[in-house]
Amino acid sequence: MEISALAAYHCLVFAWYFFVLYSLTHLRTEERPSEVFLYGGQWKYLTVLNLLLQAVFYGVSFLADVLRLIKKLRCAKCVISSRDLLFSVLAFPVSTFVSISFWTLYTYNRELVYPKSLDGVIPSWLNHTMHTAVLPLALLEILATPHRYPAKKKGLFLLGCASFLYDSWVLWIYFVTGEWVYPLFASFSPAGLGAFFISSLAIVVCFYNFGEFLNRMIWGQSKFCF
């Protein structure tokens, strides 16, 4: 894809995620079920944090494209390195995990992850934007431009750190409020919850490896250009 077209695409997707976040944070407060938006607000949900992550990623991607267009290659290299690290370690595996895990659990029992009471608060289009569209957009990004993946140990270490931080945030919210972020967690024993967190991390690692595989299959091991 030409750099100018890539810049336009990244700008468009960045604007889209910004609009989605704006829409989500400006839902009518009086219509929110009080049991859903306790301590931590919307920022306790991985789905919402993923939207913020995607907005940051596409903003960085757009900046990298602009720097390439104006021939600021030294600055572009630094920004592109940050872009690739964001995409490989977080943007792709997290968006894939959010979409697949949400719809799997939703199909099994929606009350575990998305109570029916939310239907009157979050419009259907916004639900699909948060949980469906994130996956094809992540796949389209792989098709649009090559990304350099970090050394495997570094990538997995950073992914593990991110997972640990979110799990700690979930446990802290439970410690403060006595309520779980997702009703699903209430059905687990402490050992079961630990096993669930470990299993979730293993799944995210699989998605990390899948993204790296797709990137290598489409672009080759070392294809990269300014």
Exposure of 64 by Cβ count < 10 A (0-12 exposed, 13-18 middle, 19+ buried)? buried
> Residue 75: its pLDDT value, please?
80
Which has the closest alpha carbon to 169: 50, 44, 42, 48? Answer: 44
In this predicted structure, the answer to whether residue 224 has a pLDDT above a threshold of 50 is no
Q: Which two tokens stand for residue 152?
A: 């495997």
Q: Which of 189, 202, 194 is nearest to 101 (CA)?
A: 202
Q: Where are the alpha helices (DSSP H) in the chain?
A: 3-25, 46-69, 73-86, 92-109, 124-131, 134-144, 152-177, 190-219
pLDDT, tens digit (0-9, with 9 covering 90-100), for 81-107: 999 999 999 999 999 999 999 999 999
Taking only the tens place, the pLDDT of each residue in 162-208 is 999 999 999 999 998 888 888 899 999 999 999 999 999 999 999 99
pLDDT tens digit sequence for 46-75? 999 999 999 999 999 999 999 988 877 778
Global pTM reads 0.91
